[in-house]
Amino acid sequence: MKKLLIFLAQMVISQHQQPHFLDLASICQGVNVCPGASIYHPIQKKCVYQKEIIECNAEKITVRVHVQHVFPNLHAAQWKDIRLRIGSCIGKTAPKDGWFEENFSLSDCGTFWSQNETGIVARWTVYGLDKFFLTTGIVLTKSKNFNAECHYDTYVTTMSNSFLVNFSSTPLLVGDTNKLDSLFSMSLWGPKKQITIGERISGKVSTTLNLGTTSYSFQLTKCTVYQKPDKTGYKFDILKDTCNPSSYVGFTSNNSVNGSAHFSFISFAFTATDQNLYLDCGVKLCLINPMTKKFFNQNCIKNCHL
């Protein structure tokens, strides 16, 4: 027992010298309990110092912050009276076991948007609010702040459900994929319920993406018809790149501003029988600066008429 206490004391001294992690695996014997602003890392098998955790997806943003990161000198008895501010939003709950956790959507909390060649960035300034501010609006306790960021790909893909092309003389369904992709969907339709080879098929890519006060445009970059849903077998590019549509199927398209990008093409088949086909399209998303009313990335949308 005495040796264990000496060992623990040595570990505490070591923690002051190297504050990034505290190896508790040999002490806790599988009980993953970590002190302060740290979390247990199951692979490294140690408590790793973690200031904040930001989880991003298309539907929800989660921010987890330890009290010590925003109020490093605040006594634990006061934690119940503080909240987290994320952008323009004030958090709803006090920290639990020292950790704040707040969830919100991309359109909430006055998101600051930007875009460059590498992708799209959503950013919020995060800091703590004490009880006095929450009741009077006056700041007495100084809080540290940091930026929470989410990074998204400029490019989105969406695939239709199968559509049947008849040689003799089928309703078309909506499908979608995942990532920011999950907020985009494609629908197709023909001049009548049955689609016959040689008839024009119309379609659109639409989205439920809400960026608050920031608007955007998107442009079709590529569309390929596949024989099978796993993209094996025959395929044909009806839009090889943004400015190179196939003249064989008369492909036409337009851009969208916070709406739907419409397109059309002449139906065809890969074999001399009725055939189910699959259309996969890529979309490039371009954000508009609310101050200048111009794209953040001026080269984002291609002008095919130049």
Helix (H, G, I), strand (E, B) or coil at 6: helix
CA distance 238 to 233: 16
How far does Cα 180 stand from its chain's mean position?
Answer: 5
pLDDT of residue 225: 92
Question: Mean pLDDT, the chain, as a whole number?
Answer: 77
- pLDDT tens for each residue of 202-256: 888 889 899 888 999 988 889 999 988 888 889 999 998 888 889 888 998 887 7
Instruction: Please give the Cα distance from 79 to 99 (Å, whole number).
Output: 10
Domain spans of the chain? 52-152, 155-287
28 pLDDT higher than 90: no
Give residue-wise pLDDT tens across range 271-306.
Answer: 877 678 889 998 999 999 989 999 998 888 888 764
DSSP 160: P
Quick one: 77 exposed, middle or buried, by C-beta within 10 A (0-12, 13-18, 19+)? exposed
Which structure tokens are listed for 302? 């291609």
Q: What CATH code is assigned to 52-152? A: 2.60.40.3210
- Using CA atoms, how far apart are residues 302 and 255, in angstroms rounded to an integer? 10
Q: What is this structure's pTM? A: 0.70
Fold annotation for 155-287: Immunoglobulin-like (2.60.40)
Query: Is a pLDDT exceeding 60 seen at residue 174?
Result: no
pLDDT (tens digit per residue) in 136-172: 766 666 678 888 888 899 988 887 776 666 654 333 3
Do residues 124 and 84 touch, judged by C-beta distance below 8 A?
Answer: no
Check: CB of residue 201 under 8 Å from CB of residue 194: no
Return the sign of the alpha-carbon dihedral for residues 22, 26, 32, 35.
negative
More confident of the two residues 39 and 196: 196
Do 52-152 and 155-287 fold alike per CATH? yes
